[in-house]
A and B are shown apart, each in its own frame.
Chain A
Amino acid sequence: MRNRARIAIYLVWLAAVIALASGVAGHLTISSDLRDFVPPARTADQKLLLDEIGSGPGSRLLLLAISGAPEGELAALSQGLDEALAHDPLFVHVANGGGGLASIAPHLLPYRYLLSPTLDTHRFDAAYLHAQLQQRLQDLSSPAAPLLKPLLPRDPTLETLKLAERWAPPHQPRLRDGVWFSDRGEALLVAETRAPGFDPGAQARAIAALQEHFAALPDAKDAKLAISGPGWFGVQAARVTRAEADRFGAITTLGFVLMLLLAYRSAVPLLVTALPLLSGAATGFAMLALAFGHVHGITVAFGFTLLGVAQEYPLRVFSHRRTGASALECVRELWPLLATAIASVCIAYLAFFASGVAGLQQLAVFTITGLIVAGACTRWLLPRVLPEAERDMAVTPGLAAAWHCLARLPRPGWLPWLVAAAGIAVAALAPGRFWQNDLAALTPVPQAELQRDARLRAQLGAPDVRYLLVLRAPGEQGVLELSERIAPEMRTLVAHHALDAFELPSRYLPSIATQRARQAKLPDAAALQSALRQAMAGLPFRAGVFAPFVADVEAARTLPPLTPASIGQSPLGARLQAMLVRQEDGWIGLGTLSGVRDPAAIAAWAGGTHGAVHLLDLKAATESLVAAYRQRILVALGIAALLLCATVTLALRSPRRALHVLGPMTLATLLVLAVLRAAGIPLSLFHLVSLTLAAGLGLHYALFFERRTGDEREDLRTLHATLVCVASALLVFGVLALSSVPVLRAIGLTVALGVLFHFALSVLMAPHAAFPLPSGEDARPLAPMDRPINARSRRSSKGPGG
Chain B
Amino acid sequence: MLALLAAFALPATAAPPRDPAAALLARLARPPPASTAFIEVSYSGMLDHPLIVSGELHWLGGDRLERDVEKPWREVAKIDDGELSVQRGNGAVRRMPVARAPQVGAVLAGFRALLDGDAAALSHDFTLSVQGGNARWVLTLTPRAGTLRDRIASIVIDGRGNAPRCMTLHEAGGDTTVTLLGEMAQAGLPSAAPLQSALLARCRNGT
Chain A residues positioned under 8 Å from B53 (CB to CB): 141
Quick check: A143 and B82 within 8 Å, CB to CB?
A: no
Quick check: A153 and B1 within 8 Å, CB to CB?
A: no
Q: How many A-B residue pairs have CB under 8 A?
A: 94
Quick check: B73 and A144 within 8 Å, CB to CB?
A: no
Decide if B113 is an interface residue (CB 8 Å cutoff). no
Chain A residues positioned under 8 Å from B46 (CB to CB): 140, 149, 152-153, 541-542, 545
Quick check: B77 and A175 within 8 Å, CB to CB?
A: no
Decide if B123 is an interface residue (CB 8 Å cutoff). no
Chain A residues positioned under 8 Å from B52 (CB to CB): 141
Quick check: B42 and A140 within 8 Å, CB to CB?
A: yes
A sample of 7 inter-chain contacts (CB < 8 A) reads A98-B100, A138-B88, A140-B51, A141-B40, A142-B77, A146-B104, A541-B48
Quick check: A141 and B51 within 8 Å, CB to CB?
A: yes
Nearest-neighbour CB distance to chain B for A734, whole angstroms, equals 57
Decide if B99 is an interface residue (CB 8 Å cutoff). yes
Q: Mark B71-103, 1 if CB is under 8 A from A, else 0.
A: 001010101011110101000001111111101
Option from A75, A143, A178 in Cβ contact (under 8 Å) with B77: A143
Chain A residues positioned under 8 Å from B144 (CB to CB): none
Decide if B47 is an interface residue (CB 8 Å cutoff). yes
Option from A141, A142, A178, A545 in Cβ contact (under 8 Å) with B100: A178
Quick check: B51 and A174 within 8 Å, CB to CB?
A: no
Q: Mark B33-46, 1 if CB is under 8 A from A, else 0.
A: 00000001010111
Residue of A144, A149, A179 with highest tally of chain B CB at under 10 A = A144
Chain A residues positioned under 8 Å from B77 (CB to CB): 142-144
Decide if B119 is an interface residue (CB 8 Å cutoff). no
Chain A residues positioned under 8 Å from B124 (CB to CB): none
Chain A residues positioned under 8 Å from B84 (CB to CB): 143-144
Decide if B151 is an interface residue (CB 8 Å cutoff). yes
Quick check: B75 and A138 within 8 Å, CB to CB?
A: yes
Question: In chain A between 629 and 649, which residues have their CB closer than 8 angstroms to a CB of chain B?
Answer: none
The complex places the Cα of A670 from the Cα of B44 at a distance, in Å, of 88
Quick check: B88 and A142 within 8 Å, CB to CB?
A: yes
Chain A residues positioned under 8 Å from B48 (CB to CB): 540-542
Decide if A527 is an interface residue (CB 8 Å cutoff). no
Q: Chain A: interface residue count, which band?
A: 20 to 34
Q: Which residues of B contact A (CB under 8 A)?
A: 1-2, 40, 42, 44-49, 51-53, 67, 69, 73, 75, 77, 79, 81-84, 86, 88, 94-101, 103-104, 151, 175
Option from A144, A178, A541 in Cβ contact (under 8 Å) with B47: A541
Decide if A628 is an interface residue (CB 8 Å cutoff). no
Quick check: A176 and B83 within 8 Å, CB to CB?
A: yes
Quick check: B86 and A176 within 8 Å, CB to CB?
A: no
Q: Mark A542-563, 1 if CB is under 8 A from B, else 0.
A: 1001000000000000000000
The complex places the Cα of A140 from the Cα of B47 at a distance, in Å, of 10
Option from A135, A144, A540 in Cβ contact (under 8 Å) with B51: A540
Chain B residues positioned under 8 Å from A623 (CB to CB): none
Closest to B94 in A: A144
Quick check: B151 and A146 within 8 Å, CB to CB?
A: yes
Quick check: B40 and A178 within 8 Å, CB to CB?
A: no
Option from B79, B97, B175 in Cβ contact (under 8 Å) with A143: B79
Residue of A97, A98, A138, A152 with highest tally of chain B CB at under 10 A = A138
Nearest-neighbour CB distance to chain A for B204, whole angstroms, equals 23
Chain A residues positioned under 8 Å from B69 (CB to CB): 141-142
Nearest-neighbour CB distance to chain A for B61, whole angstroms, equals 16
Closest to B98 in A: A178
The complex places the Cα of A179 from the Cα of B84 at a distance, in Å, of 13
Quick check: A540 and B83 within 8 Å, CB to CB?
A: no
Chain A residues positioned under 8 Å from B100 (CB to CB): 98-99, 147, 178
Chain A residues positioned under 8 Å from B151 (CB to CB): 146
Instruction: List 7 tightest A-B contacts by C-beta distance, closest first.
Output: A178-B99, A176-B82, A175-B97, A178-B97, A146-B101, A177-B82, A143-B77
Quick check: B1 and A177 within 8 Å, CB to CB?
A: no
Nearest-neighbour CB distance to chain B for A388, whole angstroms, equals 82
Closest to B152 in A: A146
Question: In chain A between 107 and 150, which residues have their CB closer than 8 angstroms to a CB of chain B?
Answer: 135, 137-138, 140-147, 149
The complex places the Cα of A179 from the Cα of B97 at a distance, in Å, of 8
The complex places the Cα of A450 from the Cα of B151 at a distance, in Å, of 46
The complex places the Cα of A140 from the Cα of B40 at a distance, in Å, of 12
The complex places the Cα of A138 from the Cα of B67 at a distance, in Å, of 14
Chain A residues positioned under 8 Å from B99 (CB to CB): 75, 98, 175, 177-179
Chain B residues positioned under 8 Å from A99 (CB to CB): 100
Chain B residues positioned under 8 Å from A97 (CB to CB): 97
Closest to B81 in A: A176
The complex places the Cα of A99 from the Cα of B79 at a distance, in Å, of 19
Chain B residues positioned under 8 Å from A545 (CB to CB): 46
Chain A residues positioned under 8 Å from B73 (CB to CB): 138
Q: Quick one: given A143-B86, A144-B84, are A98 and B97 in contact (CB under 8 Å)?
A: yes
Option from B2, B75, B82, B96 in Cβ contact (under 8 Å) with A147: B96
Q: Quick one: given A98-B99, A175-B83, A176-B83, are A145 and B1 in contact (CB under 8 Å)?
A: yes
The complex places the Cα of A98 from the Cα of B100 at a distance, in Å, of 8
Chain B residues positioned under 8 Å from A145 (CB to CB): 1, 42
Chain A residues positioned under 8 Å from B75 (CB to CB): 138, 142
Closest to B1 in A: A143
Closest to A152 in B: B46
Option from A75, A142, A146, A177 in Cβ contact (under 8 Å) with B86: A142
Option from A75, A147, A175, A541 in Cβ contact (under 8 Å) with B101: A147
